[in-house]
Amino acid sequence: MNEFELIQHFFTRSACAQGGENISLGIGDDCALLQIPAGQSCAVSTDTLVSGIHFPDNAPAFLLGQRALAVAVSDLAAMGATPIGFTLAITLPQIDADWLQAFSAGLSAMALSCGIGLVGGDTTRGPLAIGVTVMGAVPPQQALLRSGAQVGDLLCVSGPLGAAAAAVPLVLGQVDEHSMTGDTAEQLLAAYWSPQPQLKLGQYLLGQASAALDISDGLLADCGHIAKASHVCLQIQQAQVPVAEAALQLLGESAALQCALSGGDDYQLAFTIAASAVAQLQQHFPSVQVIGQVISGTGVQVVDNNGQPIQQPHRGYQHFE
Ligand code: ADP
Ligand code: MG
């Protein structure tokens, strides 16, 4: 099988590449053509996953396909954008038909659940790496930036945190999933491998949230980005941070809380919003939780129930550090 047969077989014919709303031309020409609805902007974001850095060399291909797309689409959700299309730059050590079939199926499963179509890409030989570029549409005046947080706004997260970070020893095979009771291992692995981009929430927050992002590097690190871009301080009440049940089961309260604060990969949204908008928001999205507030100052501050600062040893993951 040569490069073009591979593309044809595993990507052009895959379920995720069968067109979609606002895709005028998909895979096969020099460029794809996307239609951006009148008055909207094209939101674009890229994520790369490298074998041995972002996932273990023997990671299951289906799950990898799911996750590679989910982490990229999550950036569209964080902007309030509606997905249109994505491209896939894949570097493969060899042509392994079973692997490619499973990868393409995982990619398609996530693509269908997010309403996004594969419109092109690039296929090369080398150490396994996956680059996904997503494109969507968003009204530019309402797009959810990191820079709009206002003193007095509340700080919210879209759901429980810490499960994906708690899953890492399982993903790396350092802990045997059969040693765990109930469906704890299943829940943790699902959080890691198939995070659900918060697209509906992101779109709902257009014109409502003053700032937003998706939590990829850890709550504290990512809230730091909003604080810096908005020139404010985000104060987090530690007791209000929703810790994922499966992480609590596996690790106990203290270590699970560390995962929720500093672990990454959950892809929930963190956002700031006027206090008056929260009640109605929570009616539509019951898992949204208020975890703190925006105050004047800089950086991120974690406080106890008495408002006393709690020192945080680990803040989040950074390449090259
Ligand atoms: P070019 O040489 O013009 O860059 P290629 O020969 O690399 O084009 O690719 C041919 C077509 O197949 C293009 O439309 C490209 O977008 C698409 N393509 C290549 N690799 C992939 C892939 N992994 N997934 C989806 N589409 C791909
Ligand atoms: Mg090319």
Shortest-distance Cα residue to atom 5 of ligand 1: 122
pLDDT for residue 317: 57
pLDDT for residue 235: 98
pLDDT for residue 179: 80
Whether residue 284 has pLDDT greater than 80: yes
pLDDT for residue 320: 54
Spatial CA neighbour of 204 closest among 156, 287, 142: 142
Q: Which atom of ligand 1 is nearest to the CA of 17?
A: 25
Q: Give the mutation target among 122, 128, 133 for probing the ligand 1 site: most ligand atoms within 8 A of CB.
A: 122
**Token pair in block for residue 3:** 């490069």
- What residue ranges do the domains of the chain occupy? 3-138, 154-303
Distance between Cα 4 and ligand 1 center (Å):
8
Report pTM: 0.95
**What is residue 252's three-state secondary structure?**
coil
User: Which residues touch 29 (CB under 8 Å, ≥6 apart)?
Assistant: none
Task: Tell me what the mean pLDDT of segment 18-40 comes to.
Answer: 96
pLDDT for residue 182: 82
pLDDT for residue 118: 98
CATH assignment, 154-303: 3.90.650.10
Task: Tell me what the mean pLDDT of segment 51-67 comes to.
Answer: 95
User: Which residues touch 72 (CB under 8 Å, ≥6 apart)?
Assistant: 45, 46, 47, 86, 132, 133, 134
Give the pLDDT band (50/70/90) at residue 319.
low
Distance between Cα 314 and ligand 1 center (Å):
41
Ligand closest to Cα of 9 equals 1
Whether residue 136 has pLDDT greater than 90: yes
pLDDT for residue 128: 97
Q: Give the mutation target among 1, 6, 7 for probing the ligand 1 site: most ligand atoms within 8 A of CB.
A: 7
CATH assignment, 3-138: 3.30.1330.10
**259 against 317, higher pLDDT:** 259
SS (H, E, C) 140-192: CCCCCCCCCCCCCCEEEECCCECHHHHHHHHHCCCCCHHHCCCCHHHHHHHHH
Ligand closest to Cα of 90 equals 1
Whether residue 265 has pLDDT greater than 60: yes
Task: Please give all residues whose CB falls under 5 A of ion ligand 2, grouped by chain where several chains appear.
Answer: 122
**320 against 153, higher pLDDT:** 153
Separation of alpha carbons 147 and 150, rounded Å: 9
Distance between Cα 235 and ligand 1 center (Å):
46
Each residue of 238-259: pLDDT tens digit? 999 999 999 999 999 999 999 9
